[in-house]
Amino acid sequence: MPTVFRVPPTSILRILLIARQWILTALLLLAGSALPGVAAAGCSFAAGRTGDITLSVPASITVPRDTPVGSVIYTSTLNPPPYQVSVSCTSDPAGIINLVGSQPVSSTLFPIGNSGLSARWMYQSTSSFFGAYGAMTLVGKTGFGGTRHGIQIVKTGNIAAGATVPGGYVLSWDFGALNALRLTLSNSIAIVTQSCSTSDVTVKLGTCRTSDLRGPGTYAAATGFTIPVNNCPAGMHSVKFRINPATAIASGTSSVATLDGSSTASGVGVQLLDGNGTPYAFGTVTAVSGYNSGTGGSLSIPMQARYYQTAAMVGAGSANTAMILTMDYQ
C-alpha cells in the first residue's frame, strides 16, 4: 500500500498565500520595467545634458525707494550654455520653472519669494523673454547652439526690508520632466533701497491780532522756515516731496490747513507757501532743488507759513495745526 502524505490545511493556505505574493511581486516588477519606456516616449536629451548657465552678478543693487512698479532694476549679460544641449520630445509642455518662488500660470515674471521683485529669463536679447511652463509644446527636436541667455530683475511690488535675490539656481527651462537649461547666479544680491533722512520741524508763527485780519481771504505776515533733507545718496534720478495737512484743507482753498483739536481760536487756518511766497497747493509733487545724482548730499526745502482768515468772524485763542511731508525718491 503506497504511503500517503497529508498536508495540514494551514500549510496549504500558507503555500497559496506565498504563491499569490510571488505573483503580485512579479506583476509589480513587470509594471516597473515598463516605466523607462514611458520616459523615453516623452522628452530626452538628443545631445548633451542639463546646461547650467552661470551669470556673474553684483553683491548689491541700489534702488530708489519709490521706483515705479514694473521698472527693471538689473539686467545681466547674455551668456551661452556651457556645451551643446538639444532636446527631443514627442508632444510635451515646455517653459520656465521658478526655483525661488511661486510658479505663475502664464507670465514671463517669476516672483523672488516675497521680496517685491521678480525674475525674467532673457533669450537672445534684453527684450525677449520666455514664459512659464506650459506656455509652449515641443513636438520633435530643438537645440540651444548659438543661443544666449540672461536674467532681468524687475520691481513688481513694494520691496521688502532686507530683500535679497538668492544665489545659485533661480530659473529652469524644462521640457516635459527634463531640465534642459538652468540659470544660476554667482552669488546672492542684496537690495539696498535709497532714501534721504528728514526730521520734524516746528514753526512758530507768533502772535497775530484779530484786527490784523480784515475779512475772509486776508492773512498775517508770513514766517519763513526750511525743511532739512539730509544724507541723500548718489545715484537717484530725482528727489521730490509733497505736503498735506494732517487736519483738512479749508473750504474754498488749496493751500490753507484747518486748525487741530487742541486749538481754541476760530475762523482762521494756516496757509502754506513756497520759498518765493507763492501759495503751495497741498499734494503737489515738487522737486527738491539742488539734488546732484552724481554726488548726493544734504539739501533743504525753503517754505513759508502764515495765519489766514477762513470765516467772517475770528475768535481769539491758540491756533495750531500739523502737516505731513512725504518724500519721493526715483
| Tens of pLDDT, residues 52-73 | 999 999 999 999 988 999 999 9
Residue among 84, 80, 86 at smallest CA distance from 44: 86
* pLDDT tens, position by position, 213-230: 999 999 999 999 999 999
Q: Which residues contact 308 (CB under 8 A, 6 or more apart)?
A: 217, 218, 219, 220, 250, 253, 256, 268, 269, 270, 271
pLDDT at 19 over 50: no
Q: Can you tell me the distance from the alpha carbon of 51 to that of 180, in angstroms, rounded to the nearest whole number?
A: 6
If one compares 32 and 327, the residue with the highest pLDDT of the two is 327
CA atoms within 13 A on the CB side of 265: 23
State the average pLDDT over residues 237-246: 95
With 0-12 CB in 10 A as exposed, 13-18 as middle and 19+ as buried, what is 238? middle
* pLDDT tens, position by position, 295-307: 999 999 999 999 9
**Which pLDDT score is estimated for 85?**
95
Q: Can you tell me the distance from the alpha carbon of 181 to that of 84, in angstroms, rounded to the nearest whole number?
A: 11
pLDDT at 35 over 70: no
pLDDT at 15 over 80: no
Q: Can you tell me the distance from the alpha carbon of 182 to that of 109, in angstroms, rounded to the nearest whole number?
A: 16
Percentage of the chain modeled with pLDDT above 70: 88
The CATH superfamily assigned to 196-329 is Fimbrial-type adhesion domain (2.60.40.1090)
Residue 291 dihedral angles phi and psi, to the nearest 5°: -70, 130
CA atoms within 13 A on the CB side of 249: 11
**Which pLDDT score is estimated for 40?**
35
Q: Model pTM greater than 0.75?
A: no
If one compares 35 and 186, the residue with the highest pLDDT of the two is 186
pLDDT at 131 over 90: yes
What are the E-state strand segments in 195-296?
Answer: 197-198, 223-232, 239-245, 256-257, 268-274, 286-287
Mean pLDDT of the chain: 87
Where are the domains positioned within the chain?
43-193, 196-329
**Rg value, the chain, Cα:** 36
**Which pLDDT score is estimated for 210?**
86
Choices 3.40.50.2300, 2.60.40.1760, 2.40.50.140, 2.60.40.3310: CATH for 43-193 = 2.60.40.3310
